[in-house]
Structure 1
Amino acid sequence: MVRVLLMVMAGVLACSPAPSRQPPSDPVGDYLARTLPDGFGGTVLAGRGGDITYCEGVGLADRDSGTAATCDTVYDVMSITKQFTAAAVLKLETMGKLRVSDPIGTHLGPVPADKRGITLHHLLTHTSGLVEGLGDDYDAISREDMLAGALASRLVSTPGEEFHYSNVGYSVLAAVVEKASGVGYEQFLSQRLFLPAGMRDTGYVIPRWSPDQVAVEYDETGTSQGRPYDHPWAADGPHWNLRGNGGMLSTARDMFRWHRALTDATVLSSSARQKLFTPQVRMPGMDVWYAYGWAILDTAHGEVAWHNGGNDWSLANYARELPDGAMTYWVSNQAYAEDWNLEDVELELTKEILERA
C-alpha cells in the first residue's frame, strides 16, 4: 500500500554516521556522508537554476547482483506521481479540453447526487470528500471498476469543505485525463509532458528499461520486495487503485529535467504553472498549504513546493524553491530498518540539501 506520507516532519537521524563518501569540499556530499545511515541505498540530486550541482547514487540498487545505485537508476517515485497528474489536467485546460472548475459529471457522465458538487479542483486539492483509497494498490481493478467504487463510496466530508488526502481522487483525475484527451493516461503524459521535457526514462511501461537499471526495493529486515513492476500490474501499467496517484518510475536526472521544464513554457504556460503552485487549502494541523499536486511551505528562504512519496519499503522527496531556485530530489529503496526510519528525518534532510545545492 502507498502510505499517506504528506506531512511536515523534522528531527535528527538517531544513528551512527556512515563512512565518508565524498570529499569535504563537496557541501552536499559532505553533509550526506555525515548524516545518512549505514545501509542507506538510493540516489540524491541537487540543482540550482538550469544546472545539476550534485547527483550521486549511494549504496546498492540491487544487492543480489551488487549493482550500485547511480544518478540514472530508475525508482518508483510513488505519490510524487500526483504532480504529473495535476500538470496533465492543467495541460488539458490550456488545450481547451476541460476546466478545473468542471464538475466531475462533465467528464464521467451521470454521478450520484452526493458527488455532483465535486469538481476537478476539489480532486486536485484533496477537498472532494472522497475516501483515501478503495483497496490494495495491486488489486486487479479496471478504470471502470475504480470509478464505480469511487462513486459508490461514502463521502468523508462535503465537497469543497475539508482537506482529506485521497489517492482515489487522483485516480479519478487520471480517468478524466483519458476521457478528455482520448488517449491513455501514460500516453498523454509521455506525449505532452515527458518527451517535451526530455524525460525519456519516466513512465509506467513506455520506457524500455533493462532490469539492471531499476532498483530493487527492500523492507525493514532487508528482504527483497522486487522491482516495482514485479507486483501485480496490468499490461499497460499499475491497476487503477494506483494509477494516477502513484507508481510512476523515473530517474533523478529526469526529475531534474522536470524541474527545469517547470521554469519556462516547455510543458505548461505561465498561467498554468501559476495555478500548479498556488496555495489552495491549508492542511489540517500544519502551516502548510496544498496546491495542485504540491504542498507549499513558507521557509526562511521563501516558498518551497514539496511532495513526498512512500510505500511499505521506499521513500522519496522532491522539493523546489519558488519560483525557480534550488531543487532537490532524493529517493531510497529501503526507507526503514531496525535502528533507523527515514520518515523521521525526511524534511530535515530535504531542507539541508536545498541549502547546499
Structure 2
Amino acid sequence: MAEQDEGPAWSGTALVVRGSEVLEERALGRTAGADSPACGPGSVFQACSISKLVVSAVVLALVEAGDLDLERPVTTWLDDLPARWSGITLHHLLSSTSGLGHWGDVPGLPRLLTAPPPLDELLALIAAAPPVTPPGAAWRYSGPGFLTATRVVDAVTGQPWATTAEILVLAPAGMTATRSGAAPAGPDLAVGHDHGRLRPLHPGFAAITGSGDLWTTAGDLVRLNQALRAGAVVSTRSAALLWTQHAALPAGEPGGGPMTLTGYGYGTFLGHVRGHRARVNPGDMPGYETLLAHLPDQDLDLAVLCNEEPPSRDRALAGLRLP
C-alpha cells in the first residue's frame, strides 16, 4: 500500500525498490485539482526526459539487429538534413555530443518551450539552427538530438515511433501501464500543476519523441531499470553502454539539490543522488518533474514522478529513506 502523506511539500509518487522488495512507496497531492483522486501507485505521469533512456534502448536494440550503426552519420538514413550534419553519428546523438544544442539554442523557439509549433515547423527550425559545437567536440544536452534519433528509427523501421518503442522496449520490460503518444484519458492521469494551479501539457509535446511523448508510472520505470540490467531488452553488453561515461559534464551543468551530475552515457547521467553513486535519468516539463535512478552500491532503484513545478522533485527525494 502507498503511504499517503499530508501537507503541501510536493505532489506525485515515489518508489524505492531493491530487487522484488518495495522498501518505500509514498504519494502526496492529487492528480488534477482539489476534487480529483489522490496521487497513488497507479497514477500516470508525463515521463519528460526519462524518455531519452527509452530512445537509447530502442537504438541499441536496432544496432544489435544489424539495422543501425552507432558510428555511421545520421545522413545515411535521413536525406533531408543539412550538409553540415554529415559528421553527426548516432553515438553523438545519444551521448549529447552532436553539437546540435538544446531547445533554447534553436532560433525562433521560446527559451522555455511551452507551446511547441507543428512538428514540420519544429524540424525546419532545428535544421536551420547553427551548431553550438562541431560533432564530438563537447557535451551539450540536446532534446533536438534525441528527436533526430527517433526520426532515424522511424526511417529504418518504416513504422510509427510508438509502435517501435512498444515492441522493442516497453513490452519486453513489462511496462504495461506505459504508452508513447498523446496524454491518456481517465482518472489515473496526473495533470501538471504550477504552484497548485492546473497546467495541462500542450498536446504538441506528444510529437516531440524523446522529450514529451512518454506517459508512465513509478512501478513501470523501476521495471525498465531492472529489465535493462537483466538483459531483457538488449544484451547486458549493449545495456552497459547506457551508463558508460561517453562525456564529462562541464562544471555548473544541471544538478543541484539532492543530485550531483558529472558525466553522461547514452540518455543517462552519471553522478550521485543524496551522496550515493547513481545512474540518473531526470526530466522536467511544464507542470512536471521526474527522476529514475539506480544506485548500484546499494542495489536500489528509485522513481519519482511529480505533477508540480520545482522544487517538487527535490522535496520528494529529500524525504525518502535511503539506506
* Contact 2:92 2:136 (8 Å CA) reproduced: yes
d(CA) in 2 for partners of 1:275 and 1:255? Answer: 19
Task: Give the one of 275, 294, 301 matched to 1:320.
Answer: 294
Aligned position for 2:255: none
Aligned equivalent of 1:288 = 262
Q: Which residue of 2 aligns with 1:202?
A: 178
| Unaligned segments of structure 2, at least 5 residues | 253-260
The reply on whether 1:181 has 2:152 as its aligned counterpart is no
- SS of 2:232's partner is coil
Question: Aligned partners of 1:334, 1:111: CA distance in 2, in Å?
Answer: 37
Distance 1:107 1:99 in 2: 11
Instruction: Tell me the secondary structure at the aligned position of residue 257 of structure 1.
Output: helix
Query: 1:140 & 1:300 partners in 2: Cα distance?
Result: 38
SS in 2 for 1:127: coil
Partners in 2 of 1:100 and 1:263 — Cα distance?
21
Residue in 2 that maps onto 1:139: 116
Amino acid at match of 2:164: F
Most deviating of 275-284 and 108-117: 108-117
Partner residue, 2:186: 211
- 1:324/1:184 Cα in 2 relative to 1: closer, same or farther (>3 Å)? farther
Q: State which of 29, 33, 37 in structure 2 corresponds to 1:63.
A: 33
Alignment of 1:1-357 (within 5 A): 38-109=8-79, 111-133=81-103, 134=106, 135=109, 136=113, 138-142=115-119, 145-205=121-181, 209-220=184-195, 222-226=196-200, 228=201, 231-233=202-204, 238-239=206-207, 242-285=208-251, 288-297=262-271, 303-322=277-296, 325-336=299-310, 341-342=311-312, 345=314, 350=317, 353=320, 355-356=322-323
Secondary structure class of the residue paired with 2:291: strand
- What is the alpha-carbon distance in structure 2 between the residues aligned to residue 354 and residue 278 of structure 1? 28
For 2:266 and 2:221, the matched residues in 1 are separated by 17
Distance 1:147 1:206 in 2: 19
Q: Tell me: CA distance 1:216–1:113, structure 2 relative to 1, closer, same or farther (3 Å).
A: closer
CA displacement, residues 277-321 of structure 1 (integer Å, 9 cap, x when unaligned):
111101110661100010011579874100211123221111102
Q: CA deviation at 1:57?
A: 2.2
| Counterparts in 2 of 1:306 and 1:352: CA distance versus 1, 3 Å | farther
- TM-score, normalising length: structure 1: 0.78
Letter in 1 for 2:304: W
What CA deviation, in whole Å up to 9, does each residue of 1:317-347 have, x standing for no partner? Answer: 11102388101111221134xxxx336x36x
1:328 and 1:179 mapped to 2: Cα distance?
34
Q: Provide the C-alpha distance between the structure 2 equivalents of 1:334 and 1:204, rounded to a whole number of angstroms.
A: 21
Larger radius of gyration: 1
Q: Which residue of 1 aligns with 2:257?
A: none
Q: Which amino acid aligns with 2:116?
A: D
Q: Which runs of 5+ in 1 are unaligned?
A: 1-20, 23-28
Q: Deviations over 1:40-88 (max 9, x none)?
A: 2210111012333223321211224331111110000111111111111
Task: Name the CA distance, whole Å, in 1 between partners of 2:126 and 2:100.
Answer: 7
The one-letter code of the counterpart of 1:256 is V
Question: What is the CA–CA distance in structure 2 between the aligned matches of 1:355 and 1:315, rounded to whole Å?
Answer: 20
Does structure 2 retain, via aligned residues, the 8 Å contact 1:52–1:256? Answer: no
Q: Aligned partners of 1:101 and 1:54: how far apart in 2? A: 41
Conserved? CA contact 1:326–1:354, under 8 Å = no
The CA deviation at 1:246 is 2.9
**C-alpha separation in 2, matches of 1:97 and 1:296:** 28
Q: Which amino acid aligns with 1:105?
A: T
Determine the C-alpha separation between the residues in 2 that align with 1:210 and 1:68.
16
Report the secondary structure of 1:263's partner residue: helix
**1:202 is matched by which residue type in structure 2?**
T
Which residue matches 2:256? none
Could you tell me whether the CA contact under 8 Å between 1:138 and 1:238 is conserved in 2?
no
TM-score (norm 2): 0.85
Contact 1:132 1:164 in 2 (8 A): yes
Whether the aligned pair in 1 keeps the contact of 2:288 and 2:307 (CA below 8 Å) is: yes
Report the identity percentage. Answer: 25
CA–CA separation in structure 2 for the residues paired with 1:118 and 1:297: 26
Distance 1:120 1:324 in 2: 32
Give CA-to-partner distance per residue, 1:92-115, whole Å, 9 cap, x none. Answer: 101111111111111112643321
